[in-house]
Amino acid sequence: MTLLLDINTELFQEVNKLQAEGKGGALSPQQLAQMQEKGQQIELASDEYLQVLRRVQANLAYLMPKAQHDQQKAPKGPAHMTPPPHMSQLEPKYQVLQELFPDWQGYDRRPSGTSGSPQPNGLYAGQGMAA
């Protein structure tokens, strides 16, 4: 749990940095259209931003059942076992994470076409808000 919280701290810092650089924004084309209908001048979020946000969300989704002692709803491991592509500085922490879950590949390392693959909205099938 401590490792994921430490990773999330760095991911949150990256979210703030990317927002300051103007790389945040709408998370889906549908959200973009809704915001533009309301007169908001907004762009789609960058891929970097989405990669970071997905990992924060997935880590929290993994930790929540653990904190509530609800092992039935707890996933086998964190959804993402690799850092965002542009954050190589997190490689050592994700290496430790992979060592803590040796039999779990996460959804980002599974062969394509496997259940649990990302949906267009960035969430994972069967996990609600878990990605």
* pLDDT tens track for 59-95: 999 998 888 887 777 778 899 999 999 999 999 999 9
* pLDDT tens track for 25-62: 999 999 999 999 998 888 999 999 999 999 999 999 99
Q: What is the pTM of this model?
A: 0.76
**Torsions phi, psi of 84, nearest 5?**
-55, 145
Using the CB atoms, write b or e for 3-39: b if 16+ within 10 Å.
ebeebbebbeebbeebeeeebbbbbeeeebeeeeeee
Of residues 31, 85, 84, 87, the one with CA closest to residue 59: 84
